[in-house]
Amino acid sequence: MSLAYSCILIAVLLPYVWICFAKFGRQPDGSKLRYNNHTPRLQQAQMDGRAARAVGAHQNAFEALPAFAVAVLIAVQAGVSAAQVDIAAVVFIVARVLHGVCYLADLPRARSLSWVVGLLSVIALFVMALRLV
């Protein structure tokens, strides 16, 4: 079960990985991005290119986090086998890492596919739990 709990920690940290690409990346012209820590959200709203996609990956990672964390905890509480929970959790993390990579690389179809795989792993956790209650 510690693997699934470790996956929750990884999912918590992923948004911060993706935002680093916006904060410390490059402008579309190749010049170094100067991060504005005084009004970061205003700056992020005006970003384009890879930096804007990094902000999107950051936001989407936060959006996916609650459902995943709750699904893992509910599956554990319901008595789903540790192996099943671990597999679904690892699939989610792999899918979410690929989602962020595809976001940064501007691969929308692959990004959408990885998003669906992550969502299906969350749904699987809920379904496994519902079968036991």
Distance CA 128, CA 126 (A): 6
CA angle 12, 16, 18 (to 5 degrees): 115
What is the extent of the structural domain holding 18?
2-132
Q: Looking at residue 6, which CATH number applies to its domain?
A: 1.20.120.550
Residue 63: its pLDDT value, please?
97
Can you give the pTM of this predicted structure? 0.90
Backbone dihedral angles phi then psi of residue 90, each to the nearest 5 degrees: -65, -40
Helix or strand (DSSP H, E) at 106:
none
* Secondary structure (DSSP) of 16-67: HHHHHHHHSSB-TTSPBP---SSSHHHHHHH--HHHHHHHHHHHHHHHHHHH
- What's the pLDDT tens digit per position in 30-68? 767 677 677 777 776 777 788 889 989 999 999 999 999
Residue 110: its pLDDT value, please?
98
Question: Which parts of the chain sit beneath pLDDT 70?
Answer: 1, 25-28, 31, 33, 36, 44
> Quick check: helix, strand or coil at residue 107?
coil
The count of domains in the chain is 1
